[in-house]
Amino acid sequence: MSTPAPAAGGLTIMQKRTLWAWGFLSVPILFYVVIRFYPTGNAMVLSFQEWNLLGERTWAGLENYRVLLWDPVFWQVFRNTFMYLLLGTPISLVLAFFVAYHLDQVRFMHGTIRALYFVPFMTSAVAMAWVWRWFYQDVPIGLFNNALASIGIPQIDFLDSTTNALPSILAPAIWAGLGFQIIIFMAGLRAIPRSFYEAAKIDGVSTWTVLWEITLPLLRPTIVFVVVLSSIGFLRIFDHVFNMTSANPGGPLNTTKPLVLMIYQTAFDSYDMGYAAAQTVILFLILLVVSLIQLRLLRDR
C-alpha cells in the first residue's frame, strides 16, 4: 500500500486506514490510560503520602519507606515471601520436569494420566484452600491426622505451628500449579527435533548423557519461561495464605504472611493507604528485579 491514491472526502486510502486504526484503538487507549497507567502513577505518588481514606492526602516524603525498613513485621514478611519462592519454584520445577519427562515417553493411557495431573490447575485457590485446610485439622477432624492416627503416629500440628505452617500452605500452591508446568514442559520436549535423539541413539550415547547434553540445553527457553512464571506466582501468593489462616491471617506469629497479605491488611484493615502503597511499590520492584535476574541468568549464557 505504498501508492497513496486520492479517495472520496479528500483522504488517501492510507489516511483513511490510519483513521480506522485510531478509531479501533480509541476505547482501549482510554481504558489503558484510566485503568492501568493513571492508577500506577497514583500508587507511586500515594507511596510518598499519608492517607487514611477519609481525611486529606498529606505529603510524607520518604516516611513510608523509612517506616517500612524499620518494621520487623516487614522483614518477617520479606523472609516469608522469599521462602515461598525459594521452596516453591525449585520443588515445582523438578517435580514438573520429572513427570513431564517420563509422561512424554508413556503411551498407554497417556491422555488420562496427563488429565489427572492437570485437573488441579482448573480449581479455584479459595475452594482448594478449604479442602486442604480440612485435611490439616487435628484429630478427629482432619484427614491427614486421622490417617496418621490410624497407623499409630502422633498427630502433626500443620497450620498452627511456626515451623510447619508455611510449608503446609505452600503444598497446595505447588499442587495447583504443577499441571500447568507439566503441560508446558511436555510441549517444550515435543518441540525438540527427533533427529537429535536419533543421532544420539546411533552413537550409542547413554540416556543420562542425552538428558544432560541434548534435552536440558534445548529446553532452556521453556525452563526460563516456567521459572519466571512460577517465581512471579510464588512472590504474589495470597489466596492460599489468606484462606488457610483466615482465623488468624498470616499464621502463627506472622510466620506465613506474604507481602501481598501485608499489603491487603495495611490497606483494608488499617486503612493506612500511603504505607500500603509503599509496600506495593516494593512488591513491584521485587518482581521486576527477580524476573530480570532470572532472564539474564538463564538466557544469556
Partner 1 sequence: MTTADDLTIRPSSEALLKAPAPPKRRNMGQLIRWILLFAGGILMVMPLAYMISTSLKWPWEVYEIGLIPEEPTIENYTYVLEDGRFFSWFINSTVIAAITTISALFFDSLVGYTLCKFRFRGRYIVFIAILSTLMIPTEMLVIPWYMMSQSLGWLDTYWGIMFPGLMTAFGVFLMKQFFETVPDDFLEAARIDGLNELQIWWQVAMPMVRPALAALAIFIFLGNWTAFLWPLIVTTSPELYTLPVGLSSFGDEADVAWELIMTGAAISTLPTLIFFLIFQRFIIRGVVMAGLKG
- By CB under 8 A, the residues from 156 to 195 that bind partner 1 are 172, 175, 178-180, 183-184, 186-187, 190
The one among 62, 69, 94, 115 contacting partner 1 by CB under 8 A: 115
β-bridge mates for residue 59, sequence order = 49
Stretch binding partner 1 (CB under 8 A), from 75-83, 152-160, 162-170, 278-286: 278-286
Written as nine digits, the cell of 241 is 495464605
Candidates 69-77, 140-148, 154-162, 197-205 — which segment interacts with partner 1 by CB under 8 A?
Answer: 140-148
**140 cis-preceded (ω within 30 degrees of 0):** yes
CA distance 257 to 263: 10
Tell me the closest approach of the beta carbon of residue 116 to partner 1, in angstroms.
3
Stretch that binds partner 1, among 81-89, 153-161, 209-217, 273-281 (CB under 8 A): 273-281
DSSP state of 155: P
114 binds partner 1 (CB under 8 A): yes
Q: Which one of 73-81, 83-91, 194-202, 279-287 is the stretch in contact with partner 1 (CB under 8 A)?
A: 279-287
d(CA 157, CA 255): 14
CA dist 26 and 21 (Å) reads 9
Residue whose CB is less far from partner 1, 209 or 269:
269
Pattern of binders to partner 1 over 40-69, x per CB under 8 A? x-xx--x------x----------------
- Site map 223..262 versus partner 1, x via CB under 8 A: --x----------x-xx--xx--xx------------x--
Burial of 1 (0-12, 13-18, 19+ CB in 10 A): exposed
- Angle subtended at Cα 188 by Cα 187 and Cα 190, rounded to the nearest 5 degrees: 65
The residue (of 107 and 301) whose beta carbon lies closer to partner 1 is 107
Q: Number of residues in contact with partner 1, rule: CB under 8 A?
A: 93
- Give whole-number Cα distances, 155 to 9, 13, 142, 164, 299, in Å: 82, 76, 10, 13, 46
